[in-house]
Structure 1
């Protein structure tokens, strides 16, 4: 009986060690894939914002579609059930807002939708932010509209002709 228990214990510990080793080998690849997904989401958002700056509505349509695609593929990790539900709901809302942006070529309508999209994006930005990227929440004090930037320099995507530098950094990640 003792020999059987010892043999079972040895087999079990070997199996556990093999699983730990395989997880350690896979983990860097999964972490790298996840960082790539985060960069894709963040870069799509920033490209959308930057094309609003130059009033390129056709590029904004493409960026909004890229943001939708990147968000659909992203899975949240290490959240409680309530956090997961909230994050998933917010992601779905951002995808819907990005679809609205992509559905119109009117730059003013795109900017108006982007106000809500940016506020929602900030709510989950800590989950999307790549490790090597700083994000800054910026606000136009005249309108209370917010947007995210990877630079502290103010470039207002809502009023680039009249109030390009109107705004301030409200928070940073």
Structure 2
């Protein structure tokens, strides 16, 4: 009987904690903090893309590190267990690709990793996009490489010297 009472009390305590946690999640301060984290994440990605448009491999190293740091602070919310596992796996893959970008100053190797990183980033972009920021998936029709942009204007990060404006908007969030 004592074990049943203790188990019941633990269960009630857990429910109370869950209710307290869910109340905390909807406070305006926490919503604003989450939006700030999303902006930091997306802006780190966009800065990395802009580094490739400028063919600046040194800045790409720094912004790849910033992307890794941004992901370390971000936690996914309100996902089913299956979606949480997918998003977490994708985050790990993005961090590994950003680490590969940060590990070299060879712009061609960086761009190759960025191509895969962009595909992975788009897969979870709906969970990362700040409420007040549009995101556009753009594609290079010659290679099929994608990237994300906050603008519909095409600036191809893979071939900025010869094909800067080559590409098209494929999707948007």
TM-score by length of 2: 0.86
Aligned residues: 155
1:23: Cα distance to partner?
Answer: 3.3
1:26: Cα distance to partner?
Answer: 6.7
- 2:36, 2:110 → 1: CA distance? 27
- 2:168, 2:62 → 1: CA distance? 28
Look up the match of 1:97. 97
User: 2:24, 2:30 within 8 Å by CA — same for their partners in 1?
Assistant: no
Consecutive unaligned residues in structure 1, runs of 5 or more: 1-15
Alpha-carbon RMSD: 1.7
> 3-state DSSP class of the match of 1:148?
strand
- 1:127, 1:43 → 2: CA distance? 14
Larger Rg: 1
Relative to structure 1, the CA distance from residue 65 to residue 24 in structure 2 (aligned partners, 3 Å threshold; closer, same or farther) is: closer
> 3-state DSSP class of the match of 1:147?
strand
- 2:26, 2:144 → 1: CA distance? 45
- 1:100, 1:25 → 2: CA distance? 34
> 3-state DSSP class of the match of 1:38?
helix
- 2:131, 2:58 → 1: CA distance? 30
Q: Which runs of 4+ in 1 moved over 2 A?
A: 22-26
Relative to structure 1, the CA distance from residue 25 to residue 153 in structure 2 (aligned partners, 3 Å threshold; closer, same or farther) is: closer
Consecutive unaligned residues in structure 2, runs of 5 or more: 1-15
> 3-state DSSP class of the match of 2:148?
strand
TM-score by length of 1: 0.86
- 1:29, 1:121 → 2: CA distance? 26
Look up the match of 1:57. 57
Q: Deviations over 1:54-82 (max 9, x none)?
A: 01111000000000010111110010000
